[in-house]
Amino acid sequence: MNKHSAGVALSFSFFVALTAVVNGQNWPSFRGPGGSGVVSDRPLPTAWDAEKSINILWKTALPGVGHSSPVVWGDRVFVTTAISSADKLTYNAKDDGIDPATDDSVHEWRVLGLDRDTGQIRWSRTAHRGVPKVKRHVKATQANATPVTDGRVVVVSFGSEGLYTFDMNGVLLWKQDLGVLDPGYAGQPELSWGFASSPVIYRDLVILQCDIQKNSFIVAFDLKDGKRVWFTERDELPAWSTPVIYEGRQRTELVTSGSNYYRGYDPLTGKELWRLRDGSQVKVPSPVVAGDLFYLSGGNPRGREFYVVRPNANGDISAGAGQAAGPSIAWRKDRGSPYTPTPIVYGGYLYVGNDNGVLTVYEAKTGAQVYVHRIGTTNSTFSASPIAANGHVYFSSEDGEVFVIKAGPVYELVAVNRMGEPLMATPAASDGKILIRGQRHLFAVK
């Protein structure tokens, strides 16, 4: 592609971006605007049945498998997948072990662009083809990281298979080889579980957190040409968390969750601003930014402590033994941290849902516990993170059900919606529709 064609493509895409911003229909990244998981401009449906095609706008079969969430800009949906040349490629949604799968067949790592209103696949591009460089967990896939878009470009991470940037019509603009990114159980490299941290966009930078067995780092590239802008080493163990951006009155912070430390960075330079010692393994949930507070959780053992931190901290703000709060720590809990799903703050409450369906709700500002209730049955399990809209919170289960509860201080189940296949990816929302990725299909619920 010549420079003139690239310029035309970007100019057209920028027009699309401006239109979409006015319409307020975008879900540009993992967990949507600001990584909040919250839809603020319009209600979402609460009752449907995919097995009976009730309130399903469309259902599109996706090739291969992936845990990446769909992202939306205007009337376009983007999603990634990994397609194996083997006869059958799948994952075990209910597996609670630590074993990796053996992916020794040739794969295609592919990006799909779909029409949001019809589900038609407008374009499909193969980013990479070859045998996977690292294994994955039997519960995971080779396409776990969610794309990110700003209405001009779509950025996708396939971990060891590279970072790729396309225009809105599927034209490859640039790519970066990140080396072998092999997170797994710390100190046991044979337990390879696959890469999952999603890229984020801030201004004209794409930022990616890469916490692996050795030589962890966080890096930023120029969106226009893929040139590296900054690179910061991290003394971290493997993790699968996605950073979030906090834009405050005093400064902007890139908030990260790591196994050794939670940290804040200057997103323009990669300079570390603060750190909070945690000392756990298997960090999956992303930080949550809401109401000028950072909600930091996750890690092994399950149900451990979690923290709520104020912005504008400097240096080491690690809490002392028994210290409930301090100048930089608004409040903390000694137990109850989620293992896989990212919590959500909505309507003044913090909803912490764990893998086993136990939901604990707190007052978001004070940490006062409001209630505890199990979602589903004792056999229900959850990996996807919740989203919220119009007074409701949505929880997607590995068993293929979406539980809708009423937001507020009392547990009230509004609906249980069956999708007919396992759900591992966090849903997206746009223009009053919910986009739900199952094991084999992408659904639009109206």
Query: Does residue 182 share a domain with residue 286?
Result: yes
Which of 324, 343, 362 corresponds to the end of one domain? 343
User: How many structural domains are present in the chain?
Assistant: 2
Maximum Cα–Cα distance across the chain:
61
CB atoms within 10 A of CB 61: 9
Contact 262, 276 (CB under 8 A): yes
Same domain assignment for residues 19 and 49: no
Q: How far is CA 106 from CA 86, 102, 130, 439, in A?
A: 8, 12, 5, 20
What pLDDT does residue 11 have? 37
| 374 and 319 share one domain | no
Q: Are residues 301 and 369 in the same domain?
A: no
Within this chain, do residues 191 and 250 fall inside the same structural domain, yes or no? yes
34 and 93 fall within a common domain: yes
- Taking a C-beta distance cutoff of 8 angstroms, is the pair 324, 344 a contact? no
Q: Are residues 311 and 404 in the same domain?
A: no
CATH number of the domain bearing residue 328: 2.140.10.10
- Residue 365's Cβ-side half-sphere holds a number of Cα atoms within 13 Å equal to 4
Q: What is the C-alpha to C-alpha distance for residues 103 and 359, in angstroms, rounded to an integer? A: 35
If residue 21 lies in a helix (H) or strand (E), which one and from where to where? helix 3-23
The pTM (predicted TM-score) of the whole model is 0.93
Instruction: Determine how β-strand 38-39 pairs with β-strand 387-389.
Output: parallel
Q: Which residues, other chains included, contact 52 with Cβ-Cβ below 8 Å and sequence gap of 6+?
A: none
Q: Judging by DSSP bridges, how do beta strands 315-316 and 272-277 pair with one another? A: parallel
Which residue among 313, 343, 373 closes a domain? 343
Residue numbers of the domain that contains 134: 3-44+61-343
Pair 199, 268 in one domain: yes
Per-residue pLDDT of the chain (446 residues; tens, 9 = 90+): 443 333 433 333 433 433 334 344 899 999 999 999 999 878 999 999 999 999 999 999 999 999 999 999 999 999 999 999 987 778 889 888 888 988 889 999 999 999 999 999 999 999 999 999 999 999 999 999 999 999 999 999 999 999 999 999 999 999 999 999 999 888 888 888 999 999 999 999 999 999 999 999 999 999 999 999 999 999 999 999 999 999 999 999 999 999 999 999 999 999 999 999 998 999 999 999 999 999 999 999 888 999 999 999 999 999 765 566 678 999 999 999 999 999 999 999 999 999 999 999 999 999 999 999 999 999 999 999 999 999 999 999 999 999 999 999 999 999 999 999 999 999 999 999 999 999 999 999 99
Residue whose token pair is 């460089």: 133
**Kind plus residue range of the DSSP H or E element containing 3:** helix 3-23
CA 153 to chain centre: 18
CB atoms within 10 A of CB 169: 15
> In 3-state terms, what secondary structure has residue 268?
coil
DSSP codes of every residue in 299-311: -BSTT--EEEE-S
- Among residues 320, 343, 366, which one ends one of the domains? 343
Cis before 301 (ω within 30)? yes
Do 73 and 51 fall within a single domain? no
Residue for token pair 């034209």: 171
Amino acid of residue 157:
S
- Cα–Cα distance, 170 to 82 (Å, whole number): 17
* 285 and 361, same domain (yes or no): no
Domain co-membership, 305 together with 368: no
In terms of residues, how long is the chain?
A: 446
Residue 301 tokens read as: 């053992």
Residues 119 and 40 both lie in one domain:
yes
